[in-house]
Structures are given as C-alpha cells and as structure tokens.
Structure 1
Amino acid sequence: MRASVISAINNNLNNAISLIDAIDTNIYTDVTVGPYYSSIGSHVRHALDFFDCIIHGIQENDIDLTARKRDEIISTNPEAAKNHIREIQQRLASYVDVNTDYLLHVTDNLGDGKVTIMYTLESILAQANTHATHHYAIISYMLQTLNVEVVIPGFGYNPSTPVPKREGI
C-alpha cells in the first residue's frame, strides 16, 4: 500500500475532526436543514461507515458496503465520532506495509440490487476518501444554511478543484 494514499485519507479525516472541534453539539446534531433533514453528525457517521465496511471485510475478502453499522452514537456524540475517526486512522496506518497486489470482492447496491465488483485495496480506499469529501460538501451547504461559519481550507472540495475556486467553509 502506498503511504501517500493513507496520508491523503488521514488528512481528509483530520478535516472532520477540525470540523467537529469548530462546532458545538447542537449544530452537529441539528436536523432542520432540508431537503433531507439529516444532521452533520449523520453525514460524518455515514462517511465513516464506508471505512468501517472496508476494515471489517478486508480479512475475509468480502467488503459489503451495504452492511453499514449506522452507529447512532457517532451521529449524536461528537467525541465518539472523533474517537472513531482516530481508530480508523490507526487501522489505515497499519495497511501501509501490506501487499495490495490482489483483488478484493466489494459488494454494493448500485440501484438494481447488490452487485459484487473487484477492487484493489487502494482503489476502494480512494473511493471511500472521495465519498467522505462528497459528504463534506453536503455539510458545507448545511453549515451555510445554519449561518455557521467555519473555515477549513479545501473542506468539501475535490482536490482536483482549481484552488481559486476553493473557499473552504
């Protein structure tokens, strides 16, 4: 596993910790923003669920992205979320010296039922990282709607977005 992949993911996960540190629990758990009326905490939890599925399925070569834990403690307790992020980061760091020259079975529902696709560990982790960024973008919209200003450079932006267009949140 390339250390650069794990480093990029850990930097992105650190952004979630920075976000959690910058807002209070009421903002983290607020469910008043439409159209989905989900909380920032639920988006953080959802992004972490993706990493959990990878971590829990890697040993058996059976990663099922539909088998998410949906731990509501992470959705409602910012400290629990930060602790869980750190646990994920520690686990990911342990993959740096792992041979990734094999394919993993990854199951997901693409809209017409479950399908299993072959991935490398690096590719599924890259997808998980992009997935987290996507949810950070949703969180950015939620914060704007709630009139909460938090500045985390690049938060919610894909790294390929031109720097002049990035404003953070």
Structure 2
Amino acid sequence: MYITSKSTMKKIIISSINHNLNNAIALLRLIKTPIYQDDSVGPYYSSIGSHIRHILDFFECIVNGLDSNNIDLTVRKRDGLLSRDKEFAIEYICKLQETLFSYVDVNTNYLIHVTDNMGKGKVTVNYTLESIMSHANSHAMHHYAIIGYILHNLDIEIKIPGFGYNPTTPINKREGA
C-alpha cells in the first residue's frame, strides 16, 4: 500500500507511535516499581525504567529541536526521575502523545537537520519529520524487545499484544512458536 498524502502518512505514523506509547503505559501499569527499577539482568544491567527513559529522551530531542530545525540526538537530558518513577513516566508519555498529535497539521514540506554520533563523531543528516518520527518509533520497539528480555530473565510474564516485536515479525514467531 502506497500512501500519497503527506497528511495521511503523518497521521498513520503518529497513530502508530501513540499505539506503541500506549503499550509502554500498559506495561508500567502492570509492573510494580521495584521491577521498573530492577537493574540486575546482565549483560548490561539496565532497568526497564532506564529503557523507558532512553526512549523518551529520543522523542524529547525531536520535540526540542523542531523549532530550531536542529534535532541533536546526542543532547539528551537523561532525567533520572523517568527511570525511577513509573507514574512520572506515564504522565510524561501522555504529554508527549498530546504534543505528537499536535504535529498532524504542521507543515512538514522541509528537511530537518538531525545530528547523531555514529560511533566516529557527530554527523548531521537531513530527515523529514515523518522519517525522524518513524525512526523514533522503530527505536522504541527495539528497546521494548530489550525490556521483554529483562522481564523474561526476571521470570515475569506480561501479555501486551505485539510488545517488543516489529509488526513485520511473523505472528507465529511473536507467539514463540
């Protein structure tokens, strides 16, 4: 299916992001704070909260850089409260969803400068708003998979349909078959 209308494409992207952010909210409502903060799973010893914070940092860079047309993914706040306080994270996600929804009618017929460190220093490339938001959504799904790994290693089973899987993953693989 090819989408020709930029407005339709943006609505689909924002709707997909909000769906994935709703999955994060569902997860946070299902787990207790000690699980959210648990950093005992190797090999990286990161908590679910640190992954949620990292996902939100990525989106925050987009939001903060749009007005100046300079999104710098290396300038993240790393707000520790997001890693420790799941209720604060839920509130933050809800505000982010409102902000993203407000972009549906924003003119995006221009290129946005996006800076990141690719491992050999900072590089700035051009994106559209739709492409950087799609990138952020894929980035979130990647971290949801890591969160799924953490939950598995903590022997905690949480059922949120599609959580941690790319939508292109065959359904039988998502179900562990």
Task: Classify the secondary structure of the residue corresponding to 2:58.
Answer: helix
Matched, 1:17 2:38: no
Tell me what 1:121 maps to. Answer: 129
Q: Deviations over 1:114-169 (max 9, x none)?
A: 0000000000000000000000000000000000110001000011111221138x
Tell me, what secondary structure is at the counterpart of 2:49?
A: helix
What amino acid is aligned across from residue 124 of structure 2 in structure 1? T
C-alpha RMSD over aligned residues: 0.9
SS at match of 2:106: coil
- Do the aligned residues in 2 keep the contact of 1:43 with 1:135 (CA within 8 Å)? yes
Determine the structure 1 residue equivalent to 2:167.
Answer: 159
CA distance in structure 1 between the aligned counterparts of 2:120 and 2:36, rounded to whole angstroms: 33
> Any runs of at least 4 consecutive aligned residues in structure 1 with deviations exceeding 2 A, and if so which?
none
1:142 equivalent in alignment to 2:144: no
1:33 maps to amino acid: V
Q: Which residue of 1 aligns with 2:50?
A: 42
Instruction: Confirm whether residue 4 of structure 1 aligns to residue 35 of structure 2.
Output: no
Matched, 1:109 2:117: yes
Structure 1 residue 92 and structure 2 residue 92: aligned? no
Indicate which of 46, 62, 69 corresponds to 1:61: 69
State the Cα deviation string for residues 81-121 of structure 1 (Å, max 9, x = none).
00010111000000000111110000000000000000000
Is this contact kept in 2: 1:154–1:167, CA < 8 A? no
AA aligned opposite 1:50: F
Q: Secondary structure at the match of 1:43?
A: helix
> For 1:5, what is the secondary structure of its paired residue?
helix
Match of 2:37 among 16, 29, 32: 29
Contact 1:108–1:116 at 8 Å: present in 2 too?
Answer: yes
Amino acid at match of 2:79: D
TM-score normalized by the length of structure 2: 0.93
Aligned residues: 168
Task: Show structure 2 runs of 5+ residues with no match.
Answer: 1-6
- How far apart are residue 16 of structure 1 and its match? 0.3
Percent identical pairs in the alignment equals 62
In the alignment, does 2:141 pair up with 1:133?
A: yes
TM-aligned CA deviation for residue 43 of structure 1: 0.2
